Structure 1
Amino acid sequence: MTLDELWFLATEAEQRAEQAYHRLTERHTEFLEFTRNYEVSRGRFRTLANRVSESGAPYGAHTIVYRPSRELLLVWHAGVDMWVLPGGGIQADETYREAAERELGEEAGVEADYEGLAIATRTAIRCGDYSTWGVLPVFQACAETTTPTLCDPDGEITDAKWFAELPENTRDREQLVKWREEKFSSRA
């Protein structure tokens, strides 16, 4: 891919992200918004820009699953060596929520009652002079079944656990702490 093609891909991805973000946020109210910035290699930039141009989301869709006891479900992602929210890539025929539900089933085997969008993160991606962005939708759901069962077809997820206190090595820990504070602040 030549540099001009990379610029075109970044522009195309940005347009798709804008459309996806507006469609997502106009359907939901009362969600948190964040911005994350990533500086990546040229190859990784191309991969992420392609994902954004296809779905609007560079990292797929995820779910914050909670129990009434305020515990959150996290899965261990061996590839990033961290606790993360269940979630992943979006297939061509899926909505963000459908992808989040499928990924929850694959990675943790937990059924949950989806309540809506919890977090919309604007994910800015840069490689030198090239930049684009995508949305990272995170839905919230109350667990209906609480015993995790791993069946990840990718083999990246090696454990799933409930946490009352989030481990330090939790990806996007600050966002999850803020979400939990806001979610449960009205429930004293």
Structure 2
Amino acid sequence: MAEHDASRPGPPSPCETGAGPSAARESRAARLRRSGERGLRSAMHVWWRLSRGMTLGVRAMVIDGDGRVLLVKHSYVSGWYLPGGGVEPGETLHEALERELFEEGNVRLTGAPALHGLYLNAHVSRRDHVALYVVRAFEQPSAPIPNREIVATGFFALDALPDETTRGTRARIAEVFHGTPATGRW
């Protein structure tokens, strides 16, 4: 599934958002994925807890010139999310942000991102924290190619977010665009 061309006006096409002829297969795959999510998350966090005392992640709200937000859809968890991921040992938040944006969206920073807030992501683990950055200065040389981790990406208008956009993602978008007070919890 292709990333929506930021230079083309309008919302992404059904093919870009995952709808289309293969929707039935995707629905079956989505159901299977959802059924295994809780166990997979638990197993991952047991590993992370054994290997790390606390987990730290970064996410980015990448906003294009038309005010649309970049969202990604993972292969291993349901919903649409802001791009991001874990900070590796020896890596700064900025380095992790650059790496994750490149890996998930083929996005390269061309200016300094703005730290929007730090959040406890207790939905995942009581030890998980996320730093959210707002990114307005970037380039995307080409659309990302779907892979084992990221199956779809797209820039979406605020009034056309995919139905499966997560609650936490919607809350962060409301904070940045509408001034909704931040809660400190993802």
Q: TM-score range by the shorter chain?
A: 0.5 to 0.7
Equivalent position of 2:49 in the other structure: 49
**Alignment counterpart, residue 85 of structure 2, candidates 88, 106, 112:** 88
**Alignment counterpart, residue 105 of structure 2, candidates 108, 129, 139:** 108
Equivalent position of 1:142 in the other structure: 136
| Aligned equivalents of 2:73, 2:117: Cα separation in 1 | 21
Question: AA paired with 1:109?
Answer: N
The change in CA–CA distance for 1:140 and 1:56 in structure 2 (over 3 A counts) is: same
Regions of 4+ moved over 3 Å: 39-45
Equivalent position of 1:155 in the other structure: 148
| Aligned equivalents of 2:100, 2:82: Cα separation in 1 | 10
**Alignment counterpart, residue 164 of structure 2, candidates 158, 169, 177:** 169
Question: AA paired with 1:162?
Answer: F
| Aligned equivalents of 2:152, 2:42: Cα separation in 1 | 32
Shift of 1:70: 1.4
The change in CA–CA distance for 1:177 and 1:51 in structure 2 (over 3 A counts) is: farther
Q: Are 1:116 and 1:139, in contact at CA under 8 Å, matched by a contact in 2?
A: yes
The change in CA–CA distance for 1:107 and 1:51 in structure 2 (over 3 A counts) is: farther
SS in 1 for 2:122: strand
State TM-score, norm by structure 1: 0.60
| Aligned equivalents of 1:56, 1:170: Cα separation in 2 | 23
Deviation string for 1:3-39 (max 9, x for gaps)? Answer: xxxxxxxxxxxxxxxxxxxxxxxxxxxxxxxxxxxx9
Gaps of at least 5 residues in structure 1 are 1-38, 184-188
RMSD: 3.0
| Aligned equivalents of 1:52, 1:179: Cα separation in 2 | 31
State TM-score, norm by structure 2: 0.61
Q: Are 1:97 and 1:139, in contact at CA under 8 Å, matched by a contact in 2?
A: no
Aligned length: 137
Deviation string for 1:116-137 (max 9, x for gaps)? Answer: 21231112369xxxx8423111
SS in 2 for 1:124: coil
**Alignment counterpart, residue 179 of structure 2, candidates 175, 179, 182:** 182
Give aligned-pair identity as a percent.
26
Gaps of at least 5 residues in structure 2 are 1-37, 181-186
Q: Are 1:150 and 1:158, in contact at CA under 8 Å, matched by a contact in 2?
A: no
